[in-house]
C-alpha cells in the first residue's frame, strides 16, 4: 500500500516544505518594490509549470484516443485537462495577488496577463464543446481534436506573443517592469524551494487527476450495469 502511495506522500511532504520554508528562506532583494513579495515566485510560477505538464499529459492521451479509440484514454485526457485548467486559474489568481502589490492593480492589461486569460478561455471552450454533445464517441473524438488545438495555442498566447510586446513582466520586449527573474536572480537558496514546488504541485495535480479518472470509470461501469 505504501509502495503505491509513495508519490502521494512525497507530494504532501514537498508542499508542506514549500509552504513553510518558502516563507523563511532568505530571498535576494532585487529592488525596493519586490522585497518580500518575491516569495510568491514559489507559488505563481510553479503553478504554470505544473499546468503545462498536466495539459501536456492531457494532449498525449487525446492523441492516444484518436489512434486507438479506447474510452479510458478519453477519461485520462479530460481529467488532466480539468486539473491543468484549474492550475492555470490558480496561476492567474496568484499572479493577480502579486500584481496588486507590485503594480498597484490585480489586472493591468499586461500582455502576459491577457495571453494567460485567452489561454484559459480556450480551455473553457473545450469543456463547453464537450458539454454541448450527447453522443459519447463523438464528444470524445471532437474533444480530442480540440484539445490538441488548445494545447498548441498555449505557446503563442503564453510564451511567444507576450515576449514580442512591451510588458511589465520580465522577459518582454522593452520591458520596464520587474528585473528579469533569471537563473542569476534565482540563487541557490531559492532553487531549494522552487524546484520542489514544481514537483510537489505537479504530483498533486496528478493525484487529483487520478481521483477524477477513478470516479469517472466507476460511474461509467455503474451506468453500464443499469
d(CA 108, CA 161): 17
**pLDDT band at residue 177 using 50, 70 and 90 as cut-offs:** very low
3-state helix, strand, coil in the chain (%, to 5): 75, 0, 25
The pLDDT score that the predictor gives to residue 112 is 85
C-alpha cell at 116: 494567460
C-alpha cell at 76: 485520462
Q: Is residue 120 a contact partner of residue 81, using CB atoms and an 8 Å limit?
A: no
**pLDDT band at residue 33 using 50, 70 and 90 as cut-offs:** low
The pLDDT score that the predictor gives to residue 1 is 52
Domain coordinates in residue numbering, the chain:
33-225
Residues 6+ apart with CB under 8 A from 133: 139, 142
The pLDDT score that the predictor gives to residue 187 is 74
Taking only the tens place, the pLDDT of each residue in 99-121 is: 888 778 888 888 888 899 999 99
Whether pLDDT at 34 is above 70: no
**pLDDT band at residue 27 using 50, 70 and 90 as cut-offs:** confident
Whether pLDDT at 173 is above 90: no
∠ CA(198), CA(185), CA(109), 5° rounding?
75
More confident position, 151 or 104: 151
**pLDDT band at residue 2 using 50, 70 and 90 as cut-offs:** low
d(CA 60, CA 148): 9
Exposure of 96 in the CB half-sphere (CA atoms within 13 A): 12
- What is the average per-residue pLDDT within 191-202? 94
∠ CA(192), CA(158), CA(110), 5° rounding?
95
Pick from 22, 56, 11: nearest CA to 208: 11
Whether pLDDT at 180 is above 50: no
The pLDDT score that the predictor gives to residue 102 is 78
d(CA 71, CA 97): 40
Q: What rounded mean pLDDT belongs to the chain? A: 86
Helix (H, G, I), strand (E, B) or coil at 216: helix
Q: Is residue 80 a contact partner of residue 209, using CB atoms and an 8 Å limit?
A: yes
The pLDDT score that the predictor gives to residue 17 is 95
The pLDDT score that the predictor gives to residue 150 is 96
- What is the average per-residue pLDDT within 45-68? 96
Pick from 64, 115, 55, 56: nearest CA to 85: 55
Whether pLDDT at 226 is above 70: no
Amino acid at each position: 500500500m505504501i509502495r503505491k502511495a509513495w508519490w502521494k506522500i512525497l507530494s504532501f511532504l514537498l508542499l508542506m516544505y514549500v509552504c513553510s520554508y518558502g516563507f523563511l528562506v532568505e530571498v535576494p532583494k532585487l529592488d525596493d518594490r519586490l522585497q518580500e513579495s518575491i516569495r510568491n515566485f514559489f507559488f505563481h510560477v510553479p503553478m504554470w509549470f505544473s499546468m503545462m505538464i498536466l495539459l501536456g499529459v492531457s494532449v498525449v492521451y487525446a492523441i492516444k484516443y484518436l489512434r486507438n479509440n479506447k474510452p479510458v484514454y478519453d477519461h485520462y485526457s479530460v481529467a488532466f485537462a480539468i486539473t491543468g485548467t484549474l492550475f492555470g486559474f490558480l496561476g492567474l489568481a496568484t499572479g493577480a495577488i502579486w500584481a496588486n502589490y507590485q503594480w498597484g492593480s490585480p489586472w493591468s492589461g499586461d500582455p502576459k496577463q491577457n495571453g494567460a486569460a485567452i489561454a484559459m478561455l480556450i480551455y473553457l471552450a473545450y469543456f463547453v464543446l464537450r458539454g454541448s454533445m450527447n453522443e459519447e464517441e463523438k464528444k470524445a473524438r471532437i474533444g480530442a481534436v480540440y484539445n490538441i488545438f488548445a494545447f498548441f495555442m498555449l505557446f503563442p498566447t503564453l510564451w511567444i506573443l507576450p515576449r514580442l510586446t512591451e510588458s511589465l513582466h520580465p522577459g518582454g520586449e522593452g520591458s520596464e517592469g520587474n528585473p528579469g527573474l533569471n537563473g542569476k536572480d534565482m540563487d541557490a537558496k531559492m532553487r531549494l524551494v522552487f524546484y520542489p514546488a514544481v514537483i510537489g504541485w505537479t504530483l498533486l495535480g496528478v493525484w487529483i487527476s487520478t481521483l477524477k479518472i477513478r470516479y469517472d470509470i466507476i460511474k461509467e461501469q455503474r451506468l453500464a450495469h443499469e
